Every structure is written in structure tokens, then in C-alpha cells.
Amino acid sequence: MPQVRINGVQHDVAADPQMPLLWAIRDVLGMTGTKFGCGIGACGACTVHMDGNAVRSCITTLADAAGHEIITIEGLSPDGTHPVQRAWMAGNIPQCGYCQPGQIMQAAALLKETPKPTDQQIIDAMSGNICRCGTYLRIRAAIKSAAETT
Amino acid sequence: MTPIVNLSRRNVVKGLAGMTGLVLGFHVGPRIFPFAEAAVRAKTFEPNVYLAIDETGLVTIAAHRSEMGTGIRTGLPMVLADELEADWTRVRIVQAQGDPKYGDQNTDGSRSTRQFYQPMREAGASARQMLEAAAAHVWGVNANDCRARNHMVVHTPTGRQLSFGDAAKVAATLQVPPADHLELRFKPASERRYVGKPMPIVDLANIVRGKATYGIDFALPGMKYASVERCPVYGGKALSFDAADALKVPGVERVVAIAATPIPSGFNPLGGIAVIASNTWAAQQGRQRLKITWDFGPNANHDSSAYRAELEATARKPGQVVRDQGKVDEALASSAQRISADYFVPYYAHAPMEVPTAVANVVGNKCEIWAPTQFPQAARATVLGGSASSVRERHRQRDLAGWCLRPQVEAGLYRGGRLAIAGGPSAGEGDVDARGRDSARLLSRDLCPARRGRARGGRQRHRMASSDGVSGDRIDVPTGRDLRQRRRAPAGRYRHALRDRERSLREWARRQPCSHRMVSIGLQHPTRLRGMLVRRRACPCGG
């Protein structure tokens, strides 16, 4: 039985080790903040952190995740006040919001790695996260704002 | 005048949250199709939006439109709250369920604000005036001296204040003036608190914390998950299938065939082979291991290039004329200047971020469904079909299926305890045998975009001409059938669209720096609309 550590809690997941982490998180563990978009790592909606790096949980198996520290949108900060979340609140970024947990996780990973990203670095880092509502410009502004306040 | 009914003293509604206090129901009548308005008005006094104010002053507003990222879940309640003089921090928004009492909840056509802005103002203003009247009653003063201000009613001459909660308690016991005697006073624009101001969406905090509940997030204990393999060609069906490998996937429990609805299928099941499993991934894995022999059906040889050519030909032929005024042909023939442009939109995948999804729970002959849908009433109608079964459809908090023009997922209960979760041609679809099961969720991203129906392509032809003196007006609707063999919709459906075009046209004409009279425009849309408007418009320059 695969053991994964998610948001600081060790879980014994009663599932096939080849099951994508996404479905373990959503269907087995019941945490629905991480979204299913495409299932092939093409949209970014399922982005979580693995040892601080942004990964697509739909193409990361439970076996791959075992032994690593996984953080989901629910665990990004204890009270939802991570600088990226604050910037998202201040900028009223989401529209429908479905892609936003993935966007936020991607942005948080970017800022951890590159605290003061250039415009091009932001574009590059966020290029795999799709937003059908088209909030890209606001997202970029929020990332810059979060970078300035940290 | 919108009829306002105090529902507190009726058994119809026990308040939005079972609360006591003032509960107002008001009818927000569809205003989009003026030609049908009289008929709509005549049949509805049924309230379809509710406002509740409880004893603590908590204002609860039901958002009766589907949120797809436009912000309508925030926008319309905001209009009501503003006119009510409510403190936005003490307003709670609840998502209205799909229910006939809300009237038509079809959230399409970019018309929610246009259609409901004024009714929301009326709802807010009437409630505010009732609170003012209640305060006047308590104080034994003239209601005209009482004014609601930011969740309080203030007696202007003395400065006395009564909270909304206390006023609501009294208002709930008062006789409501007849609707046609209620003279609404609206706030002047200068006193607006929220309308026209930047406001965060009501779900913002939940979204950024991953706590917003979307259709795909709803779950019932012990529910099963289904994934359906559909025929790659619209209108086709499975001839036979081999589920042996699918059933070997751990977690897969059953494989069932779903009958296809013949063309035109409308929102009914498109058919396919459903794999039912204990989790989504197992269902998807099982589906990929199905071996299916398809009969591609009447569209087996459909060729999108040939179809495009057909559309182009159709768009140039005269259609069924539904409006004809003035001298259209003459205006076009005599115009000094003409502009013509052809537009074509190919088939394209909707590919909404949230996959088409639904959860259905069957108990006995009752079925309850949770689905993100733009049009709960149509979904319900599809589900009910000829069945007398009771269906409750809940409209979950968010509807993410943006861009789709039709209900995303419908569900149905058919005779023999067979539960079907069905999508329209543009939606994911499934049909789950739920006998002996409590509930199941259908999820079908893999089917999208490859197995989902494409949005119908379209083609438009616009013609404009300028001339002097001659004008006319004609709308004609193309005849013929599209891929789905659907008949064209009645022309009346498009009149509002045409009016919008006319409005744009007027704007365009106003901006022209020339001395021309802009007299004609042709609209042609082979799959949905072909109209021709010929208008005489004077330019601002007076030419």
C-alpha cells in the first residue's frame, strides 16, 4: 500500500501504486481543491508541489510520490494567506476559478525558486497553466505583486 | 411593475435557510423575447428569486443563474443588495437549485444582466421600502421619514435607528401593499454602494484556498465512478464489445452498454459502453481496455470540407423570409458602396476546463442529480421524459463548463431502475446502470475533445452598402439541415440577436465620419441564422 505524505500528514493510500496522485488525492482522500483538467499534463489544473517543485499530479503516480513531501492548494498555507493567495485576493484574479488552484501552486513554486522573476520568467513558468476565462494578464500582475511584497 | 409578494406568511417558503424574518419572493420575468413577453407574463406569478433577511440581519440572496466565470453569481445579488441598502459584508449568497420556482434559469445569451438588472433593483427597492415601513410602524412615525442606510433604518428627523434584523422581524408580520400600489423608489445613482464599483467575486476566498465546490467536487459516500466510451462519429452506435480486459482492471466493477438515441438525439444519451468502477482512474483504465465494434451510422462519411462547401452554398440562397419591409433589393442594387465579408467557423471542441460531469443518486424511483449545467430546466425536462419519477436536480455551486452553448450534463431516470447520465451532443455523456447502487459519477475528460461532439461550425455573410433614399428590411432564415439533422429553429428566436446587431449597426453608423447613408446590412449564418437587415441611417454629419 503506497504511503504518501500530503500537507504534512502521512497517508496509507489503498490504491494501485500506478494510480495518478491526482486521483488518490481527489477520489481516495477526498481533497478536491486539486482539479482534474486534462489527465495528460497539458493544462496545469492539477498542479501540486512535490518537495517544493510544481508537478502535475495527473501524471505523477502514487509510486513516484511516495517518500516525497506533497503540498496541495489546501496545504499551501495554514490559513490561506500565502503571499500568492493574498495577491490573488487583492487582484480579484479568478473568474470561474477552476484553473486557479493550479495557477497558484505553479506561481508559488516559481516565486520560491525565483523570488523576483522577470516578465519573461513569469511567462515561461506559467505557460503550462491554461485558463479558459483568460485571466492571464491578471495572473501575471498578481505574481509581480506577490514578488514585490515578499 | 414587478409584482412583489411577501412570502413570510405563506407555507410556500419557510425562508431560504429555514429562517424566520422577512422573505420576499419576486417574479423576474424573462424580457429577452418581447414578442413572447405577454404570454410569459400571463402565466407567471410564481416567484423565482428569493431574498431573506433573518432576525440577526443576515441577508441571504439566492443566485439563480449559473456561474461560468462571468461573475453573475456576484453581480446580480450585488444589484439587489445595493438597492436594499444592505451591508455587503452581511450578505450571504446561496446558489439556487434548479427548480421551476425560479423560472427559466438558462444562463446563456449574455443576457443575465440585461434581463435581470431591473428586476433585481425592484426586489431590493421593494424590500428596503418594506423595512422602512416596518420601522415606521414600530416608531409610530411617517414612513416617508424613514430611510434605510447601510443595514439600518434611520428615522431622519430624530436620528433613531432600527437594525435590518429588527425591522425584518416586524416587516414579516405586516400586510404587504398590493403590487400595483407599491410605488418603488430607487436610489439615485450617486448613492450606489456596489453597482459600478470594483467588487471581489463572492467565491474569491474559497477559490484561492481550493475550497470552492465545483460540480466535479461533489461526492456522495460510497458512490461509484463511470467513464463511457462513445462512438467516434455522432449518430453511430456499438455493434458489439468485449469487456474481458476492462473487467481485469482492479477497481472495475461492471461494464454496461447504453443504447444510443437516434439522430436528432437532443440532450438524450448518445450511447456507448460504460465502465463502472470504485474510482475515476480505474474507470478510465477500464474504458481504454474495451474492445468495441462500431457502426458509425449515417454520418460515417461526413466530410467537413464538403460540409463547409454546402454551408457556403446554402448561405447564398434565399431562405424563408420572416420579415420584409421596404425595398431591400432596390437598396442593395442602387447602393453606391458595398462591403461584403464572409466568415466561417469550423467545428471546434469546447474543451471547458471542468469536464462534463454529474452525480446521480437513485433511491427507489427517485433520482437526485448534482450537475454543473447552464440550463437546469432543460436538463430536468430531458431527465423526466415520459417518466413520472421524481427528479430533483441540484444546481451545484459553480458551473464551470464555460463556452458550451447547451446544458453540459443531464441525467435521467428511466423505467426499470435504469439510471442514465446523459449529455447533449456537445457534452460528455454516459449511462450508468445503477441498480442496487446508490450513486455514481460520470466523468469524461478523455472523451473530450476527441469523443465529444464538436460545436457546430457556422458561416456568416455580412453585406453593407451605402446609398441615398432607399431602404428596406428583410430577415430570412435558411432552410436545410445540419450534421445533427436538426431543423432550423424558429426565426423568432433570433430576433433579439438581430436587434443587438441593429444596435451595433447604429453605433457603427454614428461613428462614420462620412456623409453616406448606411442603408443595408445582410446577416447570414447558415446553421442558425440568416437575416438581412436593410436600414437607412443618417450619418451624424448630416449627409
SS (H, E, C) B250-271: CCEEEEEEECCCCCCCCCCCCC
The residue in chain A having the minimum alpha-carbon distance to the alpha carbon of residue B200 is A92
Contact A94 B208 (CB under 8 A): yes
Residues 6 or more apart in contact with residue A141 via CB below 8 angstroms: A91
CA distance B217 to chain A (A): 6
pLDDT for res B251: 93
Structural Rg of chain A based on CA atoms: 15
Nearest residue to A97 (alpha-carbon basis) of A133, A144, A49, A46: A133
Distance of alpha carbon A64 from alpha carbon A50, whole angstroms: 10
Total number of residues shown for chain B: 543
B residues 446..505 contacting A (CB < 8 A)? 446
Mutate to test the interface with A, among B197, B207, B446 (most CBs of A within 10 A): B207
CB contact, 8 Å: A100 with chain B? yes
Residues 6 or more apart in contact with residue B200 via CB below 8 angstroms: A89, A92, B74
Contact A132 B279 (CB under 8 A): no
**Residue A20 with chain B: CB contacts under 8 Å:** 281
**Residue A27 with chain B: CB contacts under 8 Å:** 225, 279-281
**Residue B205 with chain A: CB contacts under 8 Å:** 80, 89
Q: Is the dihedral of CA B268, B273, B276, B280 positive or negative?
A: negative
Strands B518-525 and B291-295: unpaired
pLDDT for res A12: 94
Name the strand (E) or helix (H) holding B363.
strand B357-363
Distance of alpha carbon B95 from alpha carbon B93, whole angstroms: 7
pLDDT for res A84: 98
pLDDT for res B430: 31
Mutate to test the interface with B, among A22, A27, A93, A131 (most CBs of B within 10 A): A27
Contact B204 A132 (CB under 8 A): no
Residues in chain B, pLDDT under 70: 1-50, 100-101, 174-182, 266-267, 315, 317-328, 336-345, 347-350, 364-367, 380, 382-543
Nearest residue to B136 (alpha-carbon basis) of B169, B173, B170: B170
pLDDT for res B12: 32
Looking up cell 500528514, which residue turns up? A9
Using CB atoms, pick whichever of A30, A33, A92 lies closest to residue B210: A33
Query: How many CB pairs lie under 8 A apart between chains A and B?
Result: 115
Report the complex ipTM. Answer: 0.98
pLDDT for res B228: 85
The answer to whether A109 touches A50, Cβ cutoff 8 Å, is: no
For residue A107, what are the CA distances in angstroms to A34, A104, B1, B399?
A: 15, 5, 50, 25
Q: For residue B522, with 0-12 CB atoms within 10 Å meaning exposed, 13-18 middle and 19 or more buried, which class applies?
A: buried
The residue in chain B having the minimum alpha-carbon distance to the alpha carbon of residue A23 is B281
pLDDT for res B308: 75
B residues 412..451 contacting A (CB < 8 A)? 443, 445-446
Q: Is B141 helix (H, G, I), strand (E, B) or coil?
A: coil
- Structure-derived torsion over alpha carbons of residues B395, B401, B403, B404, reported in degrees to the nearest 10: -70
B residues 31..90 contacting A (CB < 8 A)? 67-71
For residue B102, what are the CA distances in angstroms to B20, B82, B84, B375, B419?
A: 21, 21, 20, 12, 26
Name the strand (E) or helix (H) holding B410.
strand B410-414
pTM score, whole prediction: 0.78
Centroid of chain to Cα B501: 21
For residue B277, what are the CA distances in angstroms to B45, B356, B412, B473, B539?
A: 46, 18, 20, 59, 66
The residue in chain B having the minimum alpha-carbon distance to the alpha carbon of residue A37 is B353
- Residue pLDDT, tens place only, A78-94: 999 999 999 999 999 99
CB contact, 8 Å: B221 with chain A? no
pLDDT for res B404: 24
CB contact, 8 Å: A91 with chain B? no
Distance of alpha carbon B135 from alpha carbon B142, whole angstroms: 9
User: Helices A136-149 & A100-113, crossing angle to 10 degrees?
Assistant: 40
Name the strand (E) or helix (H) holding A87.
helix A83-91
Q: At residue B125, what is the residue type?
A: A
Distance of alpha carbon B69 from alpha carbon B59, whole angstroms: 24
